[in-house]
Amino acid sequence: MTPTAPRDVAVVGFAHARHTESTFGTTNGVEMLAPVFAECYRQTGLDRTDIDFWCSGSSDYLAGRAFSFISAVDSIGAFPPIAESHVEMDAAWAFFEAYLKIATGQADTALVYGFGKASASADLDTALALQLDPYTVAPLWPGRHHVAGLQARAGIDAGCWSESDMAAVAARATGREVSDLLAEPYVADPLRRHDCPPVTDGAGAIILASGDRARELVDTPAYVAGIEHIADSAEFGARDLTDSPSARAAAVRATGASGDRPDLGGVTVAELHTQYTHQELLLRAALGISDDVAVTPSGGSLVADPLFSAGLERIGYAAHSVWEGRAERALAHATSGHLLQQNLICLLEGRTA
> For residue 52, how far is the Cα from the chain centroid?
23
> pLDDT confidence of 253, banded at 50, 70, 90?
very high
| Per-residue pLDDT at 26 | 74
Q: Report pTM.
A: 0.96
Q: How does pLDDT run across 164-175, given as a tens digit for each residue?
A: 999 999 999 999
Residue 11 · residue 44 · CB < 8 Å: no
Residue 67 CA to residue 65 CA, distance in Å, equals: 7
Which range has the worst mean pLDDT, 38-52, 79-93, 118-132, 273-287?
118-132
Q: How does pLDDT run across 78-117, given as a tens digit for each residue?
A: 788 899 999 999 999 999 999 999 999 999 999 999 999 9
| Per-residue pLDDT at 38 | 97
Q: How does pLDDT run across 35-50, given as a tens digit for each residue?
A: 999 999 999 999 999 9
Residue 174 CA to residue 235 CA, distance in Å, equals: 33
Residue 15 CA to residue 278 CA, distance in Å, equals: 28
Q: Burial of 78 by CB count in 10 Å (0-12 exposed, 13-18 middle, 19+ buried)?
A: exposed
Reply yes or no on whether the pLDDT at 5 is more than 80: no
> pLDDT confidence of 275, banded at 50, 70, 90?
very high
Residue 352 CA to residue 156 CA, distance in Å, equals: 45
Q: What is the overall mean pLDDT for the chain?
A: 94
> For residue 353, how far is the Cα from the chain centroid?
29
Residue 209 · residue 96 · CB < 8 Å: no
Residue 310 · residue 344 · CB < 8 Å: no
> pLDDT confidence of 2, banded at 50, 70, 90?
low
Is 119 in a helix, a strand, or coil?
helix
Q: Which helix (H) or strand (E) holds 23?
A: none
Runs of H (alpha helix) within the chain: 30-44, 60-63, 68-72, 92-103, 124-129, 144-157, 163-174, 178-182, 211-217, 245-255, 277-287, 310-323
| Per-residue pLDDT at 331 | 98
**Taking CA 338 as the corner, what is the angle to CA 73 and CA 330, rounded to the nearest 5 degrees?**
70
The Cα-based distances of 237 to 37, 136, 190, 240 in angstroms read 42, 11, 20, 8
| Per-residue pLDDT at 353 | 60
Reply yes or no on whether the pLDDT at 200 is more than 80: yes
| Per-residue pLDDT at 65 | 78
Mean pLDDT of 311-318: 98
